[in-house]
Every structure is written in structure tokens, then in C-alpha cells.
Structure 1
Amino acid sequence: MLLNVASEWLCRAVEHVGSTSVPGLSAKPIIDIMFGVNDLPSSKPAIEALSVIDYCYYSYRDDIIHWFCKPKPEYRTHHLHLIPFKSNLWQERLKFRDILRNNRTIAQKYAALKQKLAQDNPQDREVYTQNKWPFVKAVLSGRIRS
């Protein structure tokens, strides 16, 4: 269904990212889909098109991403990230996913961090998300290896 509605904006790849893309990693039951687009301005019409299949658009980091959730903000099963293909963000997300898939120690450290943040911030998804970034950046820069 997603490809039927948004294929005209697709640029080469759709990737499963996020914690559910890493076998064995604890995760919320939300599928994160990274959808490669040529650029954000030319993919803006996808916002209206995707609303027809219950993707709710949010203006969140809209200088680097078109971000959606499905079916509604209160109950999410999917996050959709329209990101310029091969941009820095695109490459970082794939790199982090692949490190977690291939390095059990880092994946376990990330899982422990996520669990602690979820306990400390049960009602604040934004704080939870923001507080994961220092770990992600440290892994991507090689400061956390195993």
C-alpha cells in the first residue's frame, strides 16, 4: 500500500530501521521505515498523498526529514521517515542499524539505555528520544566500540 501511494517520490530504497530492525533488541512495537526521496521540497506532495492511508504528518526536524506516524499519534504502529537518499542522515541511520546488528555488546548497551530512559521518562517521548542521541553519536564516531 505504501509503495502504491508514494512510489513517485521513492528514490531507490526503502529500509527497515530502528530497534525492530535489529534481531533480539528490545523495542516498542513500532516499525520504523526509512523511505529514500530525491529531496524534501519535491517530495512535499507526498504528505497529502500519505494521509489517505492514515500516515499522520508532523513538522519535526522538517529541515532534514518528512516524519509521519500511523495510524494516529495516540497509538502508533509505524513511523515513516522520508529522507533524502544517501544524505548524511540516511547514511547515519543505516550505519547505526548495521552496527547494532553486528555488535551484540553495543546492542545490549543500547537496550539498557533505552530501558532506563523509558523508566525515567514514561510520559515524555521527546526527552526519551533526545537522550538516546549522545549514545548514538558516540557509537557512530567510534568512541563506543564494545
Structure 2
Amino acid sequence: MADDRGQRPMTDEEIEAAALGPAQRVDGQVTLREYDHRWPGVYEREAASIGARLAEGGGASGHRIEHVGSTSVPGLPAKPVIDMLLIVDDPGDEDGYVPALTVVGYTVAVREPEWYEHRVLRKQDLDPSAGSANLHVLPGGCPEVDRMLLFRDRLRRHTGDHELYARTKRGLARQEWKYMQNYADAKTEVVEEILARARRAG
């Protein structure tokens, strides 16, 4: 069963408990880069590699891969990390997809079984334009999937919300943070504001 984790800040204890190994720390400011036109190509390359491995392995049938996060929105400043979303029937069935993706450099970094069975697989040394990738794994029909895609599409199409989110990111990046998750959680208020407008717009 999913709780309200997506709409409230995670505690330090929750951040540490979800991480396999040390949680991602910042202990300072977050480094953003201006949008890099190479990012979509990096995503396409990784998505093709992931799709091929899953097809060969016979697991995660009917999967879907999406480019999400700030690197998926042209013109938006972002951390040089390619965020992707892998939609499968059951993220808790790691045997169905993790072994295949380990072959191409992905390892499980975050496990949140109480929140839609969310997993994050991470790959390092990705590309000169983006040092790493985060592969979020969620089930089909999950509200968080709809939320992530609606937010991405709103930023791609609406100049005002695109600019608002860019200003918010830059302002928060200049503050001091302990964990990367703290920075992400600090954006929740403006994210929910933008999502509310997107829902009203249909």
C-alpha cells in the first residue's frame, strides 16, 4: 500500500532506510547545468539498451520506458543526471528485470516497497554530458506515473510554468542541503502548484 510519501518531505531516517548503501548526500549547494541538447540522445541510447536487455531476458514483459525529470524538458536547467521511468507490472519482482539491467551497468540504489514498490537503479560514468542515470521503476496504473508524465508534459508545453520551475530550481540550488532528497522535496510546493494547473487545463 502506498502512503503519502510523494507529497511530504522524507525524514533523514526514511532517506537512509530507502538507500542501499550510503544515501546521496550534498552537504552544500546543488550544481545545476544549463540544458544540454545531447541529453535526449543519451536517453534514447540508454532506453534502447534497457529495452533490448529486457527483451532478451524475457522479463518485465509489456514494459515501457519514458524520459522524465528536468533533462527531459528542453531549455530547463538540470543536474547532469538522466532520469528515466521504467513501467513494469510488478517492481517488487526484481528477478524479472534487475539481472538483465545489471549487465548494462545498472545497480539497485533505492528500494521503497511501501511506496508503490518504487525502485531506483543507478548507472555511473554515463556520458560526457551526464555523469549518471537514475532509472525509476514503478507499476503501470500507479498515480505517481501519471503525476510524473503530466508534470513533464506541462513543462514542455507551458512557458510560464517552465520559467517558474526554472527559477525555483535555481533559487533552491543556491541553498545548503544535507541530502539530495532534501533538495528534491523542497520543490514539492511549486510542483503541486504546477500539477494543479495542468489538471485544470485537462
TM range (shorter): 0.7 to 0.9
Root-mean-square deviation (CA, aligned residues, Å) is: 2.3
Counterparts in 2 of 1:129 and 1:136: CA distance versus 1, 3 Å? same
Is 1:38 aligned to residue 86 of structure 2? no
Q: CA deviation at 1:69?
A: 1.5
- What TM-score do you get using the length of structure 1 for normalisation? 0.83
* Conserved 8 A contact 2:74-2:156: yes
Within 5 Å, give how 1:1-146 maps onto structure 2. Answer: 1-7=49-55, 8-42=59-93, 44-45=94-95, 46-62=97-113, 63-64=115-116, 65-71=118-124, 76-121=131-176, 124-142=179-197
Larger Rg belongs to? 2
Q: Distance in 2 between matches of 1:36 and 1:103?
A: 26
Structure 1 SS opposite 2:174 = helix
Q: CA deviation at 1:56?
A: 2.3
Q: CA deviation at 1:12?
A: 4.5
Structure 2 SS opposite 1:68 = strand
Q: CA deviation at 1:60?
A: 4.2
Cα deviations by residue, 1:23-76 (Å, 9 ceiling, x for unpaired): 11111221111111012233x11234322322121234333211111127xx94
Counterparts in 2 of 1:60 and 1:108: CA distance versus 1, 3 Å? farther
Q: CA deviation at 1:123?
A: 5.6
Counterparts in 2 of 1:14 and 1:104: CA distance versus 1, 3 Å? same
Q: CA deviation at 1:85?
A: 1.8
Q: Distance in 2 between matches of 1:76 and 1:66?
A: 20
Gaps of 5+ in 1: none
Gaps of 5+ in 2: 1-48
* Conserved 8 A contact 2:120-2:134: yes
Matched residue pairs, number? 141
- Higher RCO structure, 1 or 2 (CA under 8 Å, sep 6+): 2
Cα deviations by residue, 1:84-142 (Å, 9 ceiling, x for unpaired): 12310110001000100011111111111111111103663121111112211222123
The ranges of structure 1 where at least 4 consecutive aligned residues each deviate by more than 4 angstroms after the TM superposition are none
Counterparts in 2 of 1:69 and 1:52: CA distance versus 1, 3 Å? same
